[in-house]
Amino acid sequence: MAIVTGSLTDSQAARTLSKEEIQRYSRHLIMPEVGMDGQLKLARAKVLMIGAGGLGAPLGLYLAAAGVGRLGLVDFDVVDFTNLQRQITFSTSDIGRPKIEAAKDRLSSLNPQIQFDTYRTRLTSENALDLFRDYDIIVDGTDNFPTRYLVNDACVLLGKPNVYGSIFRFEGQATVFNYPGGPCYRCLYPEPPPPGLVPSCAEGGVLGVLPGIVGAIQAMETIKLILGTGEPLAGRLLLFDALAMHFRELRLRRNPACPICGEHRTITKLIDYEEFCGIRGEEAPAVTIGIPEITPRELKSRLDRGDDLFILDVREVHEYQICNLNGRLIPLGDLPRRVSELDSSREIVAHCRSGKRSADAVEFLRQSGFRKIWNLKGGILAWSDEVDPSVPKY
């Protein structure tokens, strides 16, 4: 199946490898599965990477090292300290720089012969088709459901393969969607989870090596698609459990009832993916509407006055160890069975990391009859910003 479309009339296609390129790619060239033909296919290939984060880091490095002729990068974010634990294209000195700029510098120093096209933008329904059109293969390394569905739909509408990878804590998934005749993301998951069921920051986090492994699998599949070699990971969902160090494979089938690639298509153009994923209008503030709040500064001045306030920390034990406000720790999940530990006659201020879990805690406690209870607005992060910068942010 020819994925790379560059024809022999293209100036790039007609080119041969220079002496320096032959040296650079010699470990490819001496393998019959790649050889000169394969290396020229790589040189003609145009791959668009969506996301220059954890998955994008190994992807970009390996695709650039392999000599993929044109690499597009879409990302709007800047490098921050918390990225460095896993986003290995970036250095400490890159903090604050747009990711695509830092990535381009790193990748072009690795391989100056490659054309890099950077797009510092959010991928949207308005720009996706225009961005994708020029590329042979799209690699999805994003971190959210709306963009995943957008990438899928744009790939289906344009007939481009979508090399998919996704991670959560120490578990990964990878496959190739929309390979000719194969299933798409909507065949696998017709709908995203409602925002309320997406794991909260308490359950978030990721082992730094995990995106490295999953991103490297995506890079391998991308290169195989370009070469037309081996068995692509299409029609198979690879599941990886890093803790057990266990790979499993599940069969993926094309869903005849799929709304975008099935027999009776109801989606024929890109839609509003935020709305589709139920996150139009910012979910977080909606949750906290009607929840009594106290700002970090108000809390500080009341504590300084010596008011008798009970600080309830609803985070997890491992988060308490990172930093705390000397509150009583009762993780949100334990609250229903430990509610008797709380005295409803005292004033209680509940907090978590950012204020979302503690809003749920306040809501629960109000329903349980607590009246003198407030949510610390913005959580321990806001406390660090507004009251005590010595409290580390995580």
List active site positions: 201, 352
CA geometry: angle at 290 spanning 284 and 295, to 5°? 75
Residue with tokens 């929309």: 178
Interacting residues with another protein between 192 and 251 (CB under 8 A): 192-193, 197-199, 203-206, 211, 237, 239, 241, 243-244, 248-251
Give the C-alpha separation, 88 to 211, whole Å: 10
354 half-sphere exposure, CB direction, 13 A CA radius: 8
Q: How far is CA 291 from its chain centroid?
A: 30
Least separation in angstroms between residue 113's CB and another protein is 27
- Our finding on whether 278 is near another protein (CB under 8 A) is no
Least separation in angstroms between residue 96's CB and another protein is 16
Interacting residues with another protein between 292 and 321 (CB under 8 A): none
Among candidates 73, 177, 57, which has minimal Cα distance to 123?
73
Interacting residues with another protein between 70 and 109 (CB under 8 A): 77, 83, 87
Among candidates 350, 382, 56, which has minimal Cα distance to 215?
56
Least separation in angstroms between residue 56's CB and another protein is 7
- Our finding on whether 60 is near another protein (CB under 8 A) is no
Amino acid, res. 136: D
- Indicate which single residue of 12, 173, 229, 324 sits in contact with another protein (rule: CB under 8 A): 173
- Indicate which single residue of 39, 89, 111, 166 sits in contact with another protein (rule: CB under 8 A): 166
Binding string, residues 146-165; x marks residues near another protein by CB under 8 A: --x----------------x
- Indicate which single residue of 54, 60, 212, 235 sits in contact with another protein (rule: CB under 8 A): 54
- How many residues at the interface with another protein, by CB under 8 A? 51
Cα distances from 277 to residues 150, 190, 205, 264, 374, in angstroms, run 11, 11, 22, 22, 30
Interacting residues with another protein between 333 and 372 (CB under 8 A): 333
- Our finding on whether 145 is near another protein (CB under 8 A) is yes
- SS3 sequence of 166-208: EEEECEEEEEEECCCCCCCHHHHCCCCCCHHHCCCHHHCCECC
Could you tell me which stretch among 14-22, 138-146, 282-290, 378-386 binds another protein (CB under 8 A)? 138-146
- Our finding on whether 62 is near another protein (CB under 8 A) is no
Taking the least distance from each CB to another protein, the nearer of 75 and 313 is: 75
Taking the least distance from each CB to another protein, the nearer of 179 and 374 is: 179
Question: Are residues 376 and 349 in contact, defined by beta-carbon separation less than 8 angstroms?
Answer: yes
* Local structure of residue 392 (DSSP, 8 states): P
- Indicate which single residue of 38, 51, 182, 378 sits in contact with another protein (rule: CB under 8 A): 51
DSSP one-letter string for 302-333 = HHHTT--EEEEE-S-HHHHHH---SPEE--GG
Taking the least distance from each CB to another protein, the nearer of 151 and 387 is: 151
Phi/psi-derived region of residue 94, left when phi > 0, alpha when psi is between -120 and 50, beta in every other case: alpha
Taking the least distance from each CB to another protein, the nearer of 227 and 314 is: 314
Q: Which two tokens stand for residue 138?
A: 């799209």
Give the C-alpha separation, 388 to 373, whole Å: 23
Q: Which helix (H) or strand (E) holds 158?
A: helix 145-158
Q: How far is CA 116 from its chain centroid?
A: 22
Taking the least distance from each CB to another protein, the nearer of 40 and 49 is: 49
Over the Cα atoms of the chain, what is R_g? 25
- Our finding on whether 118 is near another protein (CB under 8 A) is no
- Indicate which single residue of 14, 15, 31, 253 sits in contact with another protein (rule: CB under 8 A): 253
Residues at the interface with another protein (CB under 8 A): 51-56, 77, 83, 87, 140-145, 148, 165-171, 173, 188-193, 197-199, 203-206, 211, 237, 239, 241, 243-244, 248-253, 255, 333
